[in-house]
Amino acid sequence: MDAFARGVAALSRFFGVVAALMIVLSVLVVCQMVFVRAVLGQSTVWQTPFVTYLLVGATFLGSPYVLLLKGHVNVDLLPLYLPHPARKVLAFLAAALSLAFCLLLFIKGVEFWHEAYAKHWTSSSVWRIPLWIPYLSLPLGMGLVCLQYLADIYNLATGKDLPFGLKAEDTL
């Protein structure tokens, strides 16, 4: 199980790097677009949808990494208020709630991705990118978030992680 948790963390980190690179790439493409239009006076057709889909992808693919970093902001008023054992129970509940939502997104994401793939949907701009490519980011990213949550729950159960990252002496 430890190997599983480490493997998932490595996978999350990898997709974190992918997401970061997608953001950098989108910056470069936006600059290229401004240059091509403002300086060269040429058409910009593919840049707008490309950059938009890059950031859709970065959001979903980067999500497991941000979860690993505990970077998804939460309301920790109740956890701070509760004594440590109750805090741990709440942490399991919170993780289960999030896991349920992300699992649903994963399943629905796979269905929607498959529909776009099977029916040959494309974007409606001149630049006709097959939509299954950007749509893949939702099931992939959310699937990884589910794995990351499973790893988190394992770490929490074995005491490797503190509930909500709070030490026993952290209170209001």
Partner 1 sequence: QTVTLKASHQFPGGKGDVRDEMVQLIAREVAAANVGLEVRVFPGASLFKPKDQWNAMVKGQLDIAAFPLDYANGQHPQFSATLMPGLVKNHDHAKRLNNSPFMADIKKIINDAGVVVLADAWLAGAFGSKKGCLVNPEDLKGAKIRSAGPAFEEMWAGAGASIASMPSNEVYTALQTGAIDATDTSSGSFTSFRLYEQIKCLTAPGDNALWFMYEPVLMSKKSFDALNDKQKQALMAAAKKSEDYFFQEAKKLDSEMETVFKKANVQVTSLNGEQLAKWRAVAQRTAYKTFSDSVPGGKALIDKALNVQ
Partner 2 sequence: MSPLEMGVVIALVTTLLLFSGAPVAFAMGAAAVGFLVIFDGPRMLGVVAENMLSGLDDFTLVSIPMFVLMGAAVASSRAGSDLYEALERWLYKVPGSLVISNLGAAAMFAALTGSSPATCAAIGKMGIPEMRRRGYPADLATGAIAAGGTLGILIPPSITFILYGIATGSSIGRLFLAGVIPGLMLTGLFMMWALFVCWRKGIGFDARHRIYSWREKFESLPKILPFLVIIAGVIYALYGGIATPSEAAGVGAALCLVLAVTIYRMWNPKDLWHILKDTTRESVMIMMIIATSILFGYMLSNLFVTQSLANWIAGLAVGKWVLMLWINIFLLVAGCFLPPAAIILMTAPILYPIITQAGFDPIWFGVIVTINMELGLITPPVGLNLYVINGIAPDVRLPTILKGALPFMLCMVVQILLLCVFPEIATWLPDTLMGKSVVK
Which residues, 6+ apart, have CB-to-CB distance to 127 below 8 Å? 45, 46, 49, 50
What track of x and - describes contact with partner 2 for positions 127 through 146 (by CB under 8 A)?
-------xx--x--------
**CA-CA distance, 9 to 151, in Å (whole number)?**
8
Could you tell me if 60 and 140 are in contact, meaning their C-beta atoms sit under 8 angstroms apart?
A: yes
- Tell me if 98 contacts partner 1 by CB under 8 A: no
Q: Which residue has tokens 């074995």?
A: 158
Give least dist CB 91 to partner 2, A.
Answer: 7
Could you tell me if 12 and 66 are in contact, meaning their C-beta atoms sit under 8 angstroms apart?
A: no
Q: Which is nearer to partner 1, 41 or 159 (CB)?
A: 41
Which residues form the interface with partner 2 (CB under 8 A)? 16, 19-21, 23-24, 26-31, 33-34, 38, 48-49, 51-53, 55-56, 58-59, 62-63, 65-67, 69, 71-80, 90-91, 93-95, 97-98, 100-102, 104-105, 108-109, 111-113, 134-135, 138, 164, 172
